[in-house]
């Protein structure tokens, strides 16, 4: 397997790691509160407002990992499947994932919305470039 393929898969793994890390942190915030009776299960069955702010921020950040990252995974898998992984794809993938880490850290710490939006928008822009570049490369291939 070429190095660029491995690096793209590594970027995908880093995104999965971020998602799992947020899930673990969220569980550490939520489960003890429910198990101790601090929060009644009926109060969280439909919405999250019974949880303290930290748990809600982690929950929102976790949910966010199933939005733009899904489009990233599809693009990365498409690049791998078509054999079109090059250094441009790797750099864009690593940059996208790095911006997802920045976004998540802001989301679960200070939650400064303007900074979080900037990180999200930058990630979206990188993802758009990734997709446009990938589509250009695929559509430029000669037909067999």
Reported as a single tens digit per residue, the pLDDT across 16-56 is 999 999 999 999 999 999 999 998 888 888 888 899 999 99
Domain that holds residue 110: 3-140
Predicted confidence (pLDDT) at residue 100 exceeds the cutoff of 80: yes
Residue 97 confidence (pLDDT)? 98
In sequence order, the 6+-apart residues with CB closer than 8 A to the CB of 84 are 134, 137, 138
Number of Cβ atoms within 10 Å of the Cβ of 70: 10
Predicted confidence (pLDDT) at residue 144 exceeds the cutoff of 70: no
What's the whole-number average pLDDT of the chain? 95
Residue 48 confidence (pLDDT)? 87
Structural domain tally of the chain? 1
Rounded CA separation 33/27 (Å): 10
Taking residues 112-134, report their average pLDDT.
98
Taking residues 105-131, report their average pLDDT.
97
In this predicted model, what pLDDT tens digit does every residue of 84-93 receive, in sequence order?
999 999 999 9
Residue 142 confidence (pLDDT)? 82
Output the domain CATH number for residue 112.
1.20.120.550
Predicted confidence (pLDDT) at residue 141 exceeds the cutoff of 90: no
* DSSP letter (8 states) at residue 84: -
Torsion (CA) 24, 29, 32, 33 in degrees, nearest 10: -150
């Amino acid at each position: 397997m070429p190095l660029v393929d491995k690096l793209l898969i590594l970027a995908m793994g880093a995104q999965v790691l971020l998602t799992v890390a947020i899930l673990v942190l969220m569980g550490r915030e939520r489960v003890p509160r429910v198990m101790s009776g601090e929060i009644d299960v009926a109060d969280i069955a439909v919405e999250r407002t019974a949880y303290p702010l930290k748990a809600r921020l982690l929950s929102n950040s976790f949910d966010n990992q199933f939005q733009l990252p899904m489009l990233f995974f599809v693009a990365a898998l498409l690049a791998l499947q078509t054999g079109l992984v090059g250094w441009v794809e790797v750099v864009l993938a690593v940059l996208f994932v790095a911006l997802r880490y920045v976004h998540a850290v802001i989301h679960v710490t200070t939650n400064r919305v303007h900074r979080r939006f900037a990180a999200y928008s930058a990630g979206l822009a990188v993802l758009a470039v990734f997709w446009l570049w990938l589509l250009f490369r695929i559509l430029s291939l000669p037909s067999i």
